Amino acid sequence: MLRQLIIEERRFPLAVPFRISRGVKLNADVVTVAMYQGDKCGRGEAVPYARYGESVASVIEQMEQLRPQLASGMGRDELLAQLPAGAARNALDAAMWDLESQLSGVPVWQRLARTPGTAVVTALTVGIDTPEQMGVAAARIAGVGLIKVKVDADDPAARIDAVRRAAPHARLIVDPNESWTIDLLRDMQGPLARARVDLLEQPLPADADDALLAFSGSVPICADEACHETRDLPRMRGRYQAINIKLDKTGGLTEAWRLLRAARSEGFKVMIGCMVCSSLGIAPALELAREAAFVDLDGPFWLQHDHPDGVQLQGGSLLPPPPGFWGG
């Protein structure tokens, strides 16, 4: 039976600006896929990311080029062979997982030999601002279990310290988004240790991380922009102690599941992250979240309006969407 494919751009305005070292985001611009076969429909969502040379237009063009093969029944393994890792493949892969589960009556969690989804502790993010305002933001969420602190190269110690004072008991992830130098990384070892930071995410530019080979710090370093898919893992050895897996980087749940297992077998800690997106982009990532040491899936909570039947936040715990939202 032939499939029908609907590809659309959707914009989700943010409730407040999202500031990181490379800029400010006011909207989440996503690409959604609805894949119909008979009376069943599989859905997927992806976030094109300019850091990886993507745009909404380029992602839609990648999908459209495969429309004939997709309509005639292309599977996930063939999709991996036809498209590189990235947002286009992620949205299509998610739609395929969802459609397969609807057609078979077997939910994704069961196909992965898992138990049904349960709540997980997710990081809540404090974006870049003045130390004073970051302290105010952290105080609002001080009771949660995990906070991610966005910083750049402008006095990161003051910003981290402000968050730690406002949230004395939360675990902390610090994320410079590639904005530090190796000298700044060395200088920050004392402040990171004093703030009891649990994880430092991608401090150096991905193309400058050879400097990490000769570096030994007080806080485990997590690869984000430097690691997209399983074939990147050999290069991570000696540089990083953890890997941030995002479906928009791996190109979907299929490759993300492989990367998760490979990273754990090689001794890396695993973090499951996301772009700023809706619950439709988060639902597939939740299938991996219970396997991770760190979960950072707060993307939907930056939106003014998410899907009403999507994920929910209870304290610092992320509750999965109800059955039928995605994945059976």
Burial of 206 (0-12, 13-18, 19+ CB in 10 A): middle
CA atoms within 13 A on the CB side of 217: 30
Distance between CA atoms of residues 184 and 161, nearest Å: 16
Strand-pairing partners, residue 121, are 317
Residue ranges of E strands in 58-217: 120-121, 124-126, 146-150, 171-175, 197-201
Give all strands (DSSP E) within the chain, no chain letters: 4-20, 23-37, 40-46, 120-121, 124-126, 146-150, 171-175, 197-201, 221-223, 242-245, 269-272, 294-295, 312-314, 317-319
247/255 Cα distance (integer angstroms)? 8
Task: Give CA–CA dist 131/150, Å, rounded.
Answer: 11
Helix (H) or strand (E) holding 92: helix 87-104
Q: Which two tokens stand for residue 17?
A: 């600006």
| Active-site annotation, residues | 150, 246
Q: Residues 167, 126: contact at Cβ < 8 Å?
A: no
Please enumerate in sequence order all residues whose Cβ is within 8 A of that of 281, keeping only pairs 6 or more positions apart, or say none.
30, 45, 46, 47, 94, 247, 248, 274, 275, 299, 300
Q: Which residues are CB-neighbours of 194 under 8 A, at least 6 positions away?
A: 161
- Per the DSSP assignment, residues forming a β-bridge with 125 are 148
